[in-house]
Amino acid sequence: MIKFFRQSYAIQYVVLALMAIALWIPAFISGKATMGLDEPVTPLFNLMDRLLGFSPIAQHAVAFVLLVLETLVFNAIMVKHQIVGKVSTMGAFVFLLLMSLTMTQTNFYPFAFSVFFILLTISNLFDTYMLPNPEMNLLKAGVFVALASLCCFPAILLIVWVIVVLPVAKKGSLRWELIPVFGFLFVYFMYFVCIFLFGDFQALLLGYKDYFTAFHLSISGFNLWSIILLALLIVPTVLMLFGGNNAGLEKTVAVRTKISMTLILTAFAVLTLFMGSNVLMNGLLFIVLSILMSYAFSYMNNTGWANLFLTIFILLVLANKYYFKLL
């Protein structure tokens, strides 16, 4: 299976399409309505929710198409930055699987709309390492973080990650650190100005005040099955990256730097798990694991046990979606 997705031909995309359909059919059958909460801090998602609120099927269709596009973008980013091989669909395979594991994820919810902007943020940060003048990339990274947070507010933590990882990318000067912050603040400034001129600014401020007053980190989003799922993903990833079978992993400085940046992002991804009512709806950790797994699967020499793990894991995912429905 791993060697199959290390290639990029028409047959790989056919298999990916069939896989996407198999993972999403239960969502369309269920016909559940939106999982949006219409929070004041997620105006971009609220807009889409109102436009598509007339039909759960329309919501699922848009979420499905969006995930397919995000899958292709993710794979392109992985190939561009040599996280996977030059001709590979490994990134698409891993991302599609991890972002569609459960019924909760195959739905219309805020994080699904922030993923596109998060991927662009990560890509622009990866680019900075190789660029002597990364000002535009840093500015775009700040803008994309702001747009992601307007879809799913916990994504706002990414602006801290951007600042933290710039020294890792050898771009740690104060000037470069301030550029993404400026891009981030500019988007929010324009949003607040538009509401001030054309909307109810007092209601907006009250909404943010109420959100932050009620906000607190909590473990309430975890349950036994979500903990088991996360363990099944995290433990094999750690073993593949740091265990005895990682001798064949790519060791170029550029790739090592980008993996280091991703590992730092893991800390912020874990923190987001405690920022909502359901850990599966704050999927930043799944993006991080998609990057790390794609990297490991692409360069590891001994793929026997990894293929066995993937086969069993996919069967369990499908069994849960079509029969057990635990998550």
Count the Cβ atoms, other than its own, within 10 Å of residue 115. Answer: 26
Integer Cα distance of 145 and 153 in angstroms: 10
Report pLDDT for 244. 46
Integer Cα distance of 219 and 25 in angstroms: 30
Spacing of C-alpha 3 from chain mean position: 24
* pLDDT tens sequence for the chain (327 residues): 888 888 888 898 999 999 999 999 988 887 665 555 567 889 999 999 888 888 888 889 999 999 999 999 999 999 999 899 888 899 999 999 999 999 889 888 899 999 999 999 999 999 998 888 899 999 999 999 999 999 999 999 999 999 999 999 888 788 999 999 999 999 999 999 999 999 889 999 998 988 888 888 888 888 899 999 999 999 999 888 876 445 556 568 888 899 999 999 999 999 999 987 788 888 899 999 999 999 999 888 888 888 888 899 999 999 988 888 877
Report pLDDT for 37. 59
Instruction: Please give the radius of gyration of the chain, using alpha carbons only, rounded to the nearest integer.
Output: 20
| Sequence letter at residue 136 | M
Tell which residue, 176, 165, 156, has the closest CA to residue 271.
156
Integer Cα distance of 248 and 250 in angstroms: 6
Count the Cβ atoms, other than its own, within 10 Å of residue 229. Answer: 21
Count the Cβ atoms, other than its own, within 10 Å of residue 238. Answer: 12
Let me know: does 111 contact 156? Beta carbons within 8 Å. Answer: no
Report pLDDT for 23. 93
Structure tokens given for 243: 């265990």
Report pLDDT for 113. 93
Count the Cβ atoms, other than its own, within 10 Å of residue 180. Answer: 29
SS (H, E, C) the chain: CHHHHCCCCHHHHHHHHHHHHHHHHHHHHHCCCCCCCCCCCCHHHHHHHHHHCCCHHHHHHHHHHHHHHHHHHHHHHHHHCCCCCCCCCHHHHHHHHHCCCCCCCCCCCHHHHHHHHHHHHHHHHHHHCCCCCCHHHHHHHHHHHHHHHHHCHHHHHHHHHHHHHCCCCCCCCHHHHHHHHHHHHHHHHHHHHHHHHHCCHHHHHHHHHHHHHHCCCCCCCCCHHHHHHHHHHHHHHHHHHHCCCCCCCCCCHHHHHHHHHHHHHHHHHHHHCCCCCCHHHCCHHHHHHHHHHHHHHHHCCCCHHHHHHHHHHHHHHHHHHHHHCCC
Write down the domain spans for the chain.
2-324
Let me know: does 42 contact 148? Beta carbons within 8 Å. Answer: no
Report pLDDT for 216. 83
Q: How far apart are the first and last CA of the chain?
A: 25
Let me know: does 16 contact 89? Beta carbons within 8 Å. Answer: yes
| Sequence letter at residue 172 | G
